Amino acid sequence: MTISSSLNAGVAGLQANATRLASISDNIANSSTYGYKRVQTDFQSLVVSSSGGSYSAGGVRASTSRLIDQRGSLVSTSNATDLAVRGRGMLPVAQSSDVNVSNGNSQMLLTTTGSFRTDAQGYLRSDSGLVLLGWPALADGTVPTFPRDTSDGLQPVQINVNQFSGEPTTAMSLGVNLPATDTDAGSAGEAQYLSIEYFDNLGTSETINVSFTPTVPGTGTSNEWTMQLTDSALGGAVVGEYVLTFDDSRTAGGTLASVTTTSGGAYDPATGNIVINAEGGPLEINIGQLGESDGLTQLSDSFAPLSISKDGSPVGNMTSVEVDANGFVTAFFDTGISRTIFQIPLVDLPNPNGMVALDQQTYLPSPDSGSFFLWDAGDGPTGDIVSYAREESAVDVAGELTAMIQTQRAYSSNAKVIQTVDEMLQETTNIKR
């Protein structure tokens, strides 16, 4: 009966608008929730009678969807591990309760922002109980290759705030001028000494002692020196000895002409390096290339260590942790060194809106969202990671209030339809009297 279908259509209209009002109220309630993605309600008409004859109202059906691909604006904060994704991609996280169980790989969830701080176990954890996931780096700070189509390689990002770290010295460079007059006939022939500190594999300070002894000829000038290197970690044992000959020509005067190896690693003229075996392992020392003035030189009458540089550092305490735009988690130490300890990838899916929405603005990949892939932040289709930032709610309060007014009017109109149908049915009943 047509009049009955009108009643059913009015009831369907009330239900549909009640659903829309529920989504609006949820959006407004979360207008200040960081990372919240608004819910959208759409209406679809139901057609019961599409052929001739009497018309029957089908009513309306409401469907809701969460617009996960919509992004809110970014706001700055004062916490280095407040993170937000700028552009496409999502951060991998896990529930802290899942991590604490330690029964294998944690279930990977996705979010676009979070305020992470270290907890009692050193995990980067948000107040809502989300732990940041990433790929662990090796001891030398490099991140090995992990599979990109699975979350199996991801581990909870754990920061040891009491961590000590030191870097052994593996290379140094000598920029020293030797006095040319010391190789003249009749000179005293006194050796020149130089001590260079280096750090062994345990962060202990050791010394490479270098002596430069001139060759004093009977007549003329030899332009020749004997360089001897000893290692304090080996009790002063000789680890290298070389005969240095310098050029005295007009065009290349004072530069190395030749290097003859007596003991230790051979001199490489292409790089200007020699390699000695210190107590902790090979140590590469750059003394300059032949014909170049960037290493050892022999000029004038003064001994002058002009430029001495080396890598490595003593043991230091961790002072802070930061995340860069490419997702590398870097630990900083009070000795001035830094070390990469994790890399946070960005997860991308073909259909982000197809994911399952969970609490704390997290989402779970599903068959509707498609297969995910873990990208380096800033690579491929993904954006980058912004630290000292949070993503605001994607809700436009003014738009939601406008939609609420429309919903209220539509609800009232449907209620009026039901009231009218009720009056018509009452009139039909009165015909019997």
Q: What is the pLDDT of residues 117-161, one digit of tens each?
A: 999 888 999 999 999 999 999 988 899 999 999 999 999 999 886
- In this prediction, residue 339 carries a pLDDT of 87
**Angle CA(257)–CA(263)–CA(264) in degrees, nearest 5?**
90
Residue 158's contacts (CB-CB under 8 Å, 6 or more residues apart) are 121, 122, 123, 124
Kindly report the average pLDDT of the chain as a whole number.
91
The first and second tokens of residue 249, run together, are 């020509």
Residue linked to tokens 């899942």: 98
- In this prediction, residue 52 carries a pLDDT of 63
Cβ atoms within 10 Å, residue 164: 12
- In this prediction, residue 417 carries a pLDDT of 87
- Characterise 141 by phi-psi region: left (phi > 0), alpha (psi -120 to 50), beta (else): left
- In this prediction, residue 330 carries a pLDDT of 93
| 5-63 pLDDT, tens digit each | 788 888 888 999 999 999 999 999 999 999 999 999 999 888 877 666 677 787 888 99
- In this prediction, residue 424 carries a pLDDT of 83
The answer to whether residue 219 scores a pLDDT higher than 90 is yes
Give the chain's count of helices (H) and strands (E).
Answer: 3, 31
Residue 93 pairs in a beta bridge with 109, 132
Residue 309 pairs in a beta bridge with 173
- In this prediction, residue 162 carries a pLDDT of 63
Residue 205 pairs in a beta bridge with 199
pLDDT category at 173 given cuts 50, 70, 90 is: very high
| 295-312 pLDDT, tens digit each | 999 999 999 999 999 998
- In this prediction, residue 164 carries a pLDDT of 65
* Residue 84 near residue 368, CB atoms below 8 Å: no
Residue 404, CA distances (Å) to 110, 250, 413 in order: 30, 90, 14
| 98-116 pLDDT, tens digit each | 888 766 678 999 999 999 9
Strand 389-391 relative to strand 124-125, pairing: unpaired
- In this prediction, residue 240 carries a pLDDT of 96
- Characterise 209 by phi-psi region: left (phi > 0), alpha (psi -120 to 50), beta (else): beta
Pick the CATH number of 169-311 from 1.25.40.340, 3.30.300.30, 2.60.98.20, 3.20.20.80: 2.60.98.20
- In this prediction, residue 245 carries a pLDDT of 97
Spell out the domain ranges in the chain: 2-67+394-430, 74-165+316-391, 169-311
| 254-290 pLDDT, tens digit each | 999 999 999 999 999 999 999 999 998 999 999 999 9
| 321-361 pLDDT, tens digit each | 999 999 999 988 887 788 899 999 999 999 999 999 999 99
Helices (H), 168-234: none
Residue 66 pairs in a beta bridge with 39
Across the range 92-99, mean pLDDT stands at 92
| 177-217 pLDDT, tens digit each | 999 999 999 999 999 999 999 999 888 899 999 999 999 99
Helices (H), 79-135: 96-101
- In this prediction, residue 106 carries a pLDDT of 82
Helices (H), 81-156: 96-101
